Amino acid sequence: MKARHLIFLFVLALPLAACGGNAGTEPSHEESAGGHAESGHDTGHGDEAEAGTVIEAAIAEASGIRVAPAGPGVIADEHEVQGLLTPVEGRIAKVTARFPGPIRRLAANVGDRVVAGQALAVIESNLSLTNYTVTSPIAGVVLERNAAVGAVAGEGMPLFEVADLSSLWVDLHVFGFDAQHITAGVPVTVTRLSDGANAQTRLERVLPSTATASQSTVARATIANDDGLWRPGSAVRARIAVAHSEAALVVPLSALQTDEGNRDVVYVRAGDRYEERPVTLDRRDARHVEVTAGLRAGEQVVVEQSFLVKADIGKSAAEHEH
């Protein structure tokens, strides 16, 4: 991101100079008609004209500035909760010794992936004085190893714990009044705290009992874990969408900035010109916000790198004042 900012500032300096940013030069016809660094462009959205700037298409592209048309959308009524990843019940196997005797060989360590029938250990039976092999009953990952070569394994002694982690339960803790609005089947977005990765799923059930320690209601979902990066025992954050409502005009939250007067603004592109537009907002969720005034459907709104446009408008305004 730092490199992108440097590129943006360097290439943006070229059109600034070309558009008459240097002191002592006569303003061009383009500048007097609404070129770079002009504020006061009347958009018909209020009595006061709003600030704007000109950024050539190639510079905008190189700087990562992206636009999208404003239009209708859906605002979700979401509840943000915390949760914990756990192995799915019935997908954990305890591997034990069948007969007592010394452990002669171990063939798996914690973290190893194994397949069903794969040898995990060799034990010499005290009964027959012959070796027998202990194998994994399921495919999965070795979570525990409670054995050492040379130690004596008792009959039924747990040696390994193997779990199929290709999918995991997400146990979400819902508190108080929120629990009354959450039912099985609603969409859930689960976020991994380590890197912000998301997984989409649905609530499978709301457990009838209360978690004793937290006095919360537990809502359970399942997520796929094909890459193995979701780890049992890890804390996660989740958004449970309990309802959705239509909105006539929405923009992504990434489009929003605030101006010097602390007004909510977006930046609208028309050709190479970007105009700051104050907007009135209403409902929002984790991704979008409803716009009730200041913007028309179909207008091209900056949805990525809007802060770069804000910075250029501020820089242009400062140069214009001098």
Q: Which domains does the chain have, with CATH numbers?
A: 2-74+246-321 (2.40.420.20), 77-88+167-244 (2.40.30.170), 92-163 (2.40.50.100)
> What's the chain look like in SS3?
CHHHHHHHHHHHHHHHHHCCCCCCCCCCHHHHCCCCCCEEECCCCCCCCEEEEECCHHHHHHCCCEEEECEEEEEEEEEEEEEEEEECCCCEEEEECCCCEEEEEECCCCCCEECCCCEEEEEECCCCCCEEEEECCCCEEEEEECCCCCCEECCCCEEEEEECCCEEEEEEEECHHHHHHCCCCCEEEEEECCCCCEEEEEEEEEEEEEECCCCEEEEEEEEECCCCCCCCCCEEEEEEEEEEEEEEEEEEHHHCEECCCCCEEEEEEECCEEEEEECEEEEECCCEEEEEECCCCCCEEEEECHHHHHHHHHHHHHHHHC
Q: Distance from first CA to last CA of the chain, Å, rounded?
A: 31
The structure's pTM equals 0.61
Give the pLDDT confidence score for residue 245 in this predicted structure: 86
Distance CA 49, CA 259 (A): 14
Q: What is the pLDDT along the chain (322 residues), one digit of tens a residue?
A: 434 443 444 444 444 333 333 333 333 333 333 334 343 333 444 445 578 899 999 999 999 999 999 999 989 888 889 999 999 999 999 999 999 999 999 999 999 999 999 999 999 999 999 999 999 999 999 999 999 999 999 999 999 999 999 999 999 998 877 777 788 899 999 999 888 899 999 999 998 877 666 778 899 999 999 888 999 999 999 999 887 889 999 999 999 999 888 999 999 999 999 999 999 999 888 889 999 999 999 999 999 999 999 998 888 766 666 5
Structure-block tokens of residue 284: 């929002």
Residue 207 is which amino acid?
L
